[in-house]
A and B are shown apart, each in its own frame.
Chain A
């Protein structure tokens, strides 16, 4: 003991600025993730209270163990067919990303965002939902569209901003919109859709409907005010919504600790707002599906919102405009302890006799070929910057339902 009762008060203050454990050339210490063994975390009753889930928000729901076996209370009750669909959708999503990345490098378009390593989350949740539910995605849930079987050519035309772009060239690549597929229009402004999803869910409840909404946000974007608003509204009105936080550890160059993840979890926030919350292995398709289905059932039973933090890793660059080797170890993804979602599901399905290496390779090459064909077809409608693009006159449409006088005049000024 020092003589002063409280020596700290005489020391100069210091601003704490969190850092990742490793920078380029170093090795990340992933112990901060606090993993639970597969099967170790309870499956609570549907009508669990938020405070009852508080202990779970520092644990990690996992189904697949290191041997590829499905274990524990969340393992039961997953159809073989769902696993096959999931595997196909994940492979297709990965193939799509790979091809579109090349298309961007070939300057066929200006920009692309992959979801490499995060495929299980969007795919698994989509399979747990019903027709008519509405998802409010970020730019990293293309897996939803692919699971729903949206036309690849159509999606590519949006990325290429060509004459057949369903959004008529008005939107940056990957900011898709598919109402019929339950995929809300993506905005460039982070987190705005999170509270909108809650509003949509409130509307469904107001109308006595049976549809639910899902909200999506990344770890970095949880720091936006709309995240807080969504949690408050979701809790207050017991909205039938699944509040997803995809914690891929990174927001561009910023480690999740700068978003407020140090010594806490994002799931803990949900519980603190009065929303039952879980922290789940995002690279474990079985866990994703089981927890999503549980949350959907809660929502559909009028039990209100559920928050789910999906622990995963952004294996690729943030976008085609980003170079992660400038801020994190180049081989980080390979050391991420939750591995790769496709490899893990593959091991499990092979073990169950639902899949084989041959089927895997065959599916992969079929998707590569299908996607190459789709891109070829999409390119017949034009590339970004080509003459084969949405007409300039269309620039003035859809600002309002009916074109007002001033836009009519401006269109005439442009001579279109």
Chain B
């Protein structure tokens, strides 16, 4: 379980879906300016059930269905945020966020800057991302790099229910626009890349406790999810679980860092770990070239060069569209991480 930065007591196991729903429930209750909308978000409660029951509880003025228009959803959300609301807008799959890209990049990200701080866009775009579900080309993508690249945006991705709720609440409260990427492979239970083994639900994870009420997990703070001395693995989302499994499988004393906030990120946590281990692997599902991993490699090189004992490795999706039949050839599972660890440790 990750470092919890806000003291909370009590709670029960939740799936990531329930945790996200709970975050929105808490914020809809606490702040009358919070509204949630998107395709199928209202009456039906979302195609992944993340907004289940919220419309019934808060009414159609607060939680509502939207036309199938991502630029419309994003543009309307920006207008609402400029008015003073705190919209939590859902894009049904991260793969479908591109029609909203102009609104996100040209508008949400820059509104504060270009207006000299006069207007701002305190909003959250929630969107399910990532593969490992036989989602094929348009239900599996990890587009985080194209958002992390944009000045003015915050890009966040949780890897467990506790963080999902705490990070979502923190994102809704944050005054900057947040791209909140939810690895849908983790919605119902953790997934370590061993697709041939049965998956256990979040309820079966002894340490999965999510408080019912309000708490936050701060943005810009990474979590050391597995301490180790041999090699640092920098990762986020589903591959946080892959990295831990790889370390266990190979019996390697790897330190696994879950970045949680991709950008702005927790550089101190990264530098401290890599200086300690002297070796680093960057792991993500997204395609390699100009992926977010490239930025992580560059940062490690800049800040830890004299402590590095081996070249920094990247384990990522291949530079191809996400295929269907070749799901497990594409997805960076534990075996590829183990190979990388061996290479890095050889040097």
Report which A residues bind B (CB closer than 8 A): 134, 136, 166-168, 170-171, 175, 177-179, 184-185, 187-189, 192, 194-204, 206-207, 213, 225-226, 228-230, 232-233, 236, 397-401, 404-406
Contacts and interface: CB of A to CB of B under 8 A. Distances in A.
Interface in B190-239: 220
A199 B78 contact: yes
Nearest to B99: A225
29 contacts: A170-B113, A170-B114, A179-B115, A184-B119, A187-B110, A188-B106, A192-B75, A192-B103, A192-B106, A194-B75, A195-B71, A196-B75, A197-B79, A198-B76, A198-B79, A199-B77, A199-B79, A200-B80, A202-B80, A206-B62, A206-B80, A207-B85, A225-B99, A229-B67, A229-B72, A230-B75, A232-B72, A233-B67, A233-B76
B80 A203 contact: yes
Contact of B114 (A134, A167, A178): A167
Contacts of A229: 67, 69, 71-72, 75-76
A206 B117 CA distance: 25
Contacts of B115: 167, 177, 179, 185
A262 B52 CA distance: 47
Contacts of B81: 199
Interface of B: 35, 61-62, 67, 69, 71-72, 75-85, 99, 102-103, 106-107, 110-120, 151-152, 154, 174-176, 220, 264, 267
A399 B152 contact: yes
A98 to B, nearest CB: 27
Contacts of A184: 82, 119
Nearest to B118: A179
A188 B79 CA distance: 16
Which 9 A-B pairs give the minimum distances between C-beta atoms? A199-B79, A195-B75, A199-B76, A229-B72, A203-B83, A196-B79, A185-B115, A404-B264, A200-B79
A177 B114 contact: yes
Given A204-B83, A206-B35, A206-B61, A185 B75 contact: no
B146 to A, nearest CB: 17
A200 B114 contact: no
Contact of A177 (B35, B119, B220): B119
Contact of A203 (B75, B79, B113): B79
Contacts of B80: 199-200, 202-203, 206
A236 B72 CA distance: 12
A169 to B, nearest CB: 9
B117 to A, nearest CB: 5
A398 B151 CA distance: 11
Contacts of A168: 116
Interface centre among A199, A201, A207, A406 (most CB of B within 10 A): A199
Nearest to A400: B176
Given A196-B82, A199-B76, A400-B176, A177 B69 contact: no
A340 B175 CA distance: 46
A189 B174 CA distance: 26
A179 B112 CA distance: 12
Contacts of B111: 185
B119 A185 contact: yes
Contacts of B220: 404-405
B185 to A, nearest CB: 29
Nearest to A172: B114
A405 B75 CA distance: 29
A198 B79 CA distance: 7
Contacts of A203: 79-80, 83-85
Nearest to B110: A187
B113 A187 contact: no
B145 to A, nearest CB: 16
A75 to B, nearest CB: 34
B112 A170 contact: no
Nearest to B112: A398
Given A185-B119, A196-B76, A201-B79, A399 B85 contact: no
A321 B249 CA distance: 64
A184 B121 CA distance: 13
Contact of B151 (A192, A200, A399): A399
Nearest to A136: B79
A333 to B, nearest CB: 32
Contacts of B77: 199
Contact of B71 (A167, A213, A225, A405): A225
A246 B113 CA distance: 28
B122 to A, nearest CB: 8
A13 to B, nearest CB: 31
Contacts of B76: 195-196, 198-199, 202, 229, 233
B83 A398 contact: no
Contacts of B99: 225
B116 A177 contact: yes
B23 to A, nearest CB: 20
A229 B174 CA distance: 27
A168 B67 CA distance: 38
Contacts of A170: 113-114, 116
A200 B264 contact: no
Given A187-B107, A199-B79, A199-B82, 7 more contacts: A196-B78, A199-B83, A200-B79, A202-B79, A226-B102, A400-B112, A405-B264
A187 to B, nearest CB: 6
Contacts of B119: 177, 179, 184-185
A236 B106 contact: no
Nearest to B75: A195
Nearest to B175: A401
